């Protein structure tokens, strides 16, 4: 029986949060948003069902309706706990989605713990910081698709009808409220997350909860979802990196890898414009060239170049790029050029899964904070897929991951 429904707003978020449960032994299943309406939670044998609702880029009203529908489904099918995964950089439709969960659940209080201390993303006095800088003043404030315009978390709920309260560190929790209320909890250490969740459990306030992988990491123990952990498998080189993220953090990781002497390929406009590119002479040469480099190097990278090209910010172009990445990986897997891929960015990962017609995703664990290892069956072949959000990790991440492979 399903004990917890986890609703994520994009694919990488579904993985990096779901893995917190899988890594502690809970049977965790990923379900794509398009398949969610056919899901019968009462008949599932998984402990945790993770739904990628794909609401990150939706209009706010549509995101509200999608989350409300999923929350109502969980309530009607007697799932005891619902966890709404939010982006640790506060991107997306957080305000509307949390309002939807609170209003549909029948609960009066929704605890929201947005911090991710392992990645230096903390909340103090209701203000969200990354590496000590208010988030709106970081690269996330300049995001070309969804800039974070305020560091005050309370501002996420300006367009909702719910009450919001900030619960600072050391304050006495007031979770018995007359009006539907979202409580924003300060946290800047892993110990804070444990203390908050334990107090909420003691107060019977864990039926619904929101946050990112930080709070998810302490939930399995509190909800009785811990089982025998799986050992992390040995992953063989080479590592193929496909990065569709325009986040400067991801770009620095690619540039560092190139500086260390590893091959880098950049998607160009011709590949986007030519229908059936991989059937052309140039397309076949592209695949052959990457395959040859994978035979010589432990790390090969493919990305979109710099974010200076405004064309890359167009949504239709982004989806086309995701398809090109997916088809590239598909071609390389089909010729046994590699069986380990690291994917950056939710759109890129989703494009890969769709191109490969992946029907089975098994979460294994985290190999670095925010970098998730999964086993995916694609075209009857099992491949290892590492995934991460564009804003996770320092510049050496890709090189370090490749260095840990055998």
The pLDDT assigned to 174 comes to: 85
Instruction: Please state, in angstroms and as integers, the Cα–Cα distance from residue 257 to each residue in 38, 240, 252, 297, 302, following that order.
Output: 43, 12, 9, 12, 11
Nearest residue to 187 via CA among 220, 217, 214, 150: 214
What is the distance between the alpha carbons of residues 48 and 351, in angstroms, rounded to a whole number? 24
Residue with tokens 């996770």: 392
3-state secondary structure of 242: strand
Residue 359 to residue 324: CA distance in whole angstroms = 20
Local confidence pLDDT in tens for the 406 residues of the chain: 899 999 999 988 899 899 999 989 898 988 877 777 778 888 888 899 999 999 998 999 999 999 999 999 999 999 999 999 999 999 999 999 999 999 999 999 999 999 999 999 999 999 999 999 999 999 999 887 789 999 999 999 999 999 999 999 988 888 999 999 999 999 999 999 999 999 999 999 999 999 999 999 999 999 999 877 667 788 999 999 999 888 899 999 999 999 999 999 998 877 877 888 889 999 999 999 999 999 999 999 999 886 555 555 566 777 788 888 988 998 999 889 999 999 998 888 888 888 888 866 888 888 888 899 998 887 678 899 999 988 889 999 999 999 999 8
Give pLDDT, residue 223.
Answer: 95
The interaxial angle of helices 11-22 and 346-355, nearest 10 deg, is 90
Number of H helices, E strands in the chain: 13, 18
Helix, strand, coil % over all residues of the chain, rounded to 5: 40, 25, 35
pLDDT, residue 390, reads 86
Which pLDDT score is estimated for 240? 97
Find, among 108, 81, 106, 85, the residue nearest to 97 by Cα.
Answer: 85
pLDDT in the model for residue 320 = 81
- Decide: 50 and 216 in contact? Cβ < 8 Å: no
Both tokens assigned to 181:
């209320």
Q: How far, in Å, CA of 352 to CA of 241, rounded?
A: 12
DSSP state at residue 153? G
Q: What pLDDT sits at residue 8? A: 96
What pLDDT shows up at residue 312?
54
Q: Which residues of 373-396 are buried (b: 16+ CB within 10 A; e: fewer)?
A: bbebebeeeebbbbbbbbbbbebe
Q: In the Cβ-directed half-sphere of 359, how many Cα atoms lie within 13 Å?
A: 3
Closest to 290 (Cα-Cα) out of 253, 251, 338, 236: 338
Q: What is the pLDDT of residue 190?
A: 93
Beta partners for 111? Answer: 183
Domain boundaries along the sequence of the chain: 4-222, 239-403
Six token digits for residue 62: 């549509």
Task: For residue 214, give every residue at least 6 positions away whose Cβ sits within 8 Å of its Cβ, in sequence order, or none.
Answer: 88, 113, 115, 116, 117, 118, 121, 187, 190, 193
Q: CATH assignment of 4-222?
A: 3.40.50.10840
| pTM > 0.85 | no
**Among 3.40.980.20, 3.30.420.40, 3.40.50.720, 3.90.226.10, what is the CATH number of 239-403?**
3.40.980.20
Taking the alpha carbons at both ends of the chain, their separation in whole angstroms is: 38
Report the alpha-carbon distance of residue 304 to residue 268 in Å, rounded. Answer: 7
**Rounded CA gap, 178 and 303, in Å?**
51
């Amino acid at each position: 029986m399903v004990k917890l429904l986890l609703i994520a707003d994009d694919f990488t978020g579904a993985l990096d949060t779901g893995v917190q449960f899988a890594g502690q032994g809970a049977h965790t299943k990923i379900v794509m948003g398009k398949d969610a309406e056919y899901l019968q939670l009462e008949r599932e044998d998984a402990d945790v069902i993770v739904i990628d609702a794909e609401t990150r880029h939706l209009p706010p009203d549509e995101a509200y309706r999608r989350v409300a529908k999923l929350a109502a489904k969980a309530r009607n099918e007697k799932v005891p706990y619902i966890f709404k995964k939010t982006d640790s950089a506060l991107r997306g439709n957080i305000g509307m989605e949390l309002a939807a969960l609170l209003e549909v659940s029948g609960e009066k209080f929704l605890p929201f713990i947005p911090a991710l201390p392992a990645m230096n993303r903390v909340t103090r006095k209701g203000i969200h910081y990354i590496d000590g800088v208010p988030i709106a003043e970081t690269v996330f404030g300049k995001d070309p698709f969804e800039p974070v315009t305020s560091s005050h978390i309370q501002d996420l709920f300006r367009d909702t009808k719910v009450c919001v309260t900030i619960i600072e560190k050391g304050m006495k929790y007031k979770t018995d409220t007359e009006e539907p209320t979202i409580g924003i909890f300060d946290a800047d250490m892993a110990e804070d997350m444990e203390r908050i969740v334990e107090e909420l459990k003691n107060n019977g306030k864990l039926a619904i909860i929101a946050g990112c992988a930080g709070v998810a990491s302490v939930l399995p123990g509190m909800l009785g979802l811990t089982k025998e952990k799986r050992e992390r498998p040995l992953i063989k080189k080479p590592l193929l990196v496909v990065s569709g993220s325009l986040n400067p953090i991801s770009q620095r990781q690619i540039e560092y890898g190139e500086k260390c002497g590893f091959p880098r390929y950049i998607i160009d406009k011709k590949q986007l414009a030519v229908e059936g590119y991989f059937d052309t002479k140039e397309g076949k040469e592209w695949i052959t060239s990457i395959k040859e480099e994978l035979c010589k190097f432990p790390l090969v990278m493919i990305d979109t170049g710099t974010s200076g090209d405004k064309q890359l910010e167009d949504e239709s172009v982004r989806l086309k790029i995701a398809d090109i990445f997916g088809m590239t990986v598909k071609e390389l897997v089909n010729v046994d050029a590699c069986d380990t891929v690291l994917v950056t960015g939710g759109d890129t990962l989703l494009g890969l899964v769709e191109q490969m017609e992946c029907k089975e995703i098994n979460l294994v664990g985290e190999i670095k904070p925010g970098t998730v290892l999964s086993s995916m069956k694609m075209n009857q072949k099992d491949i290892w897929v590492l995934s991460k959000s564009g804003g996770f990790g320092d510049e050496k991440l890709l090189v370090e991951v490749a260095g840990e492979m055998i």
